[in-house]
Amino acid sequence: MALNQKPQAKTWDWDAARRHAGLVAPAVLADRLGPLRALLGQWAVAEVAPGRLVPWIAVAFGFGIVGYFTADREPAVWAVVLAAAISIVVAYTARMRPVGFPVALGIAATATGFAIATVQTARIAHPVLQTTIASATLSGFVEIREERERSDRIVVQVHKFNAAQRVAEIPERVRVAVRKGTAPAVGSFVELKAHLSPPLPPLRSGGYDFARDMYFQRIGASGYALGKIQVVTPPVAAGFWLRYAAVIDGMREGIDKRIRAVVPGDHGSIASALITGKRDAISTPVNDAMYISSLAHVLSISGYHMAVVAGIVFFFIRAGLALVPSLAIQYPIKKWAAFGALIAAAFYLLLSGAEVATQRSFIMIAIVLTGVMLDRPGIMAQTPQG
């Protein structure tokens, strides 16, 4: 280059710069992500195939219940029921739309869960004690009796209530702690004096809400008995459900005492808990050890226990009927065994106290046994293509 010649400006190669900077990557990336996008599409189609989204209905329903308990104020019953009805109608009208129907069904399940929680709260509405009462004289039927490690507890359906101080609203049911071994039987009509307090609020923010739990058990106050509890002749006749509770509790109490008399200590308490559902007699150290070792669920009668009971009854009934050739050849002994197992499972449900986990397990085992009686296989065979 000559000394008097100016250097020419270099022309910028924009295409080369884009390639160097990777700015053309979107097109290349799209080509490379094509197979992955197709694979994800296949997975999505498989997940939303007919029947695959059904379990999410329960999730949406539960989400609606959670929404109710996190609401800032109590919703109007008519409003939530109307919203749930409208959402159900919308889901029904959109049943032929492949995308709109699942979305509408999920919204309807959420609205229904919210509405049912609202209606249930309104249905069981009852008076709750607002102030502490040092001494109250009350009488009523014993509905529930619980045996604890150091004391017993009873739930009394209040018939008469007298207190020195004025009470705005008298609770319908109260839970009272009594001395160990002095709890009257379920169905007894008792008179006692008690120190009563309002339901205990959560001990810390976000903690277990004792008051809410007691509210949904229709218990309006709790406390402890003062002096002796007197069992007297009831002035009114007990209702059907109270008589039923008395029969079941008497049966559970008899089985519990028999087991713990033969097998003393925590071994007998655990054995009784697996049959009668009475876990209150298990000592605190054993309870703590069960929770620490993650074995506490074994004491809660649920799916495993229900399946064992129904399975054993089903096996022995079917095996016993199979020993008679005339019955085994001419009659559907498998259906008979399923029916017998269903009856046994229902009795086990009532005997164990019918807790929520036990109810859920009974429903599942009842569906299986009903399928056996209706000749419906557990796993549907696929129809061969051709």
Same domain, 181 and 274: no
Same domain, 96 and 163: no
Same domain, 150 and 222: yes
Total tally of structural domains belonging to the chain: 4
User: Helix H segments across 197-302?
Assistant: 210-216, 240-262, 265-276, 284-292
Same domain, 150 and 200: yes
- Taking the C-alpha atoms of 268, 270, 273 and 278 in order, what is their torsion angle to the nearest 10 degrees? 80
Whether residue 311 is predicted with pLDDT greater than 90 in this model: the reply is yes
Whether residue 15 is predicted with pLDDT greater than 60 in this model: the reply is no
The pLDDT confidence band at residue 29, using thresholds 50, 70 and 90, is low
Sign of CA dihedral 52, 54, 55, 59: positive
Same domain, 163 and 202: yes
The pLDDT confidence band at residue 28, using thresholds 50, 70 and 90, is low
Same domain, 277 and 290: yes
Q: Domain for residue 142, yes or no?
A: yes
Q: Which two tokens stand for residue 234?
A: 């009831």
Please report where in the chains the tokens 């106290």 appear, as a residue: 353
CA distance 176 to 167: 18
Same domain, 157 and 216: yes
Q: Domain for residue 144, yes or no?
A: yes
pLDDT at 356: 86
Q: Domain for residue 361, yes or no?
A: yes
Listed residues 237, 256, 275: the one ending a domain: 237
pLDDT at 44: 73
The pLDDT confidence band at residue 14, using thresholds 50, 70 and 90, is very low
Helix-, strand-, coil-residue percentages of the chain, each rounded to 5: 55, 15, 30
Q: Domain for residue 46, yes or no?
A: no
pLDDT at 8: 53
- What is the CA angle 371-373-374, rounded to 5? 65
Same domain, 350 and 319: yes
pLDDT at 295: 82
Q: Domain for residue 6, yes or no?
A: no
pLDDT at 13: 53
Q: Average pLDDT of 198-216?
A: 84
- Asked if 297 and 273 count as a contact pair (C-beta separation under 8 A), the reply is no
24 vs 318, more confident? 318
Whether residue 278 is predicted with pLDDT greater than 90 in this model: the reply is no
Helix 265-276 to helix 240-262 angle (10° resolution) is 150
The pLDDT confidence band at residue 93, using thresholds 50, 70 and 90, is very high
Q: What is the pLDDT of residues 41-89, one digit of tens each?
A: 777 777 776 667 788 899 999 999 999 998 888 999 999 999 999 999 9
Same domain, 215 and 191: yes
Of 8-12, 212-216, 325-329, which range is least confident? 8-12
Q: What is the pLDDT of residues 33-43, one digit of tens each?
A: 777 777 877 77
Listed residues 237, 262, 287: the one ending a domain: 237
Whether residue 147 is predicted with pLDDT greater than 90 in this model: the reply is no
The pLDDT confidence band at residue 386, using thresholds 50, 70 and 90, is very low
Q: Domain for residue 110, yes or no?
A: yes
Residues above pLDDT 70, as percent of the chain? 88
The neighbouring-strand residues paired with 157 are 141, 173
Q: Which two tokens stand for residue 345?
A: 């499972």
Same domain, 260 and 204: no
Q: Domain for residue 116, yes or no?
A: yes
Q: Domain for residue 262, yes or no?
A: yes
Same domain, 315 and 351: yes
pLDDT at 66: 93
Q: What is the identity of the amino acid at 57? A: I
Listed residues 123, 155, 182: the one ending a domain: 123
pLDDT at 27: 59
Same domain, 66 and 162: no
Whether residue 116 is predicted with pLDDT greater than 50 in this model: the reply is yes
Q: Average pLDDT of 347-355?
A: 89
Q: What is the pLDDT of residues 240-253, one digit of tens each?
A: 888 888 898 889 88
Q: Average pLDDT of 124-148?
A: 89
Domain assignment of residue 199, given as a range: 133-237
Residues above pLDDT 90, as percent of the chain? 35
Q: Average pLDDT over the chain, rounded to whole?
A: 84
Whether residue 22 is predicted with pLDDT greater than 60 in this model: the reply is no
pTM here is 0.74
Q: How far is CA 51 from the centre of its chain?
A: 24
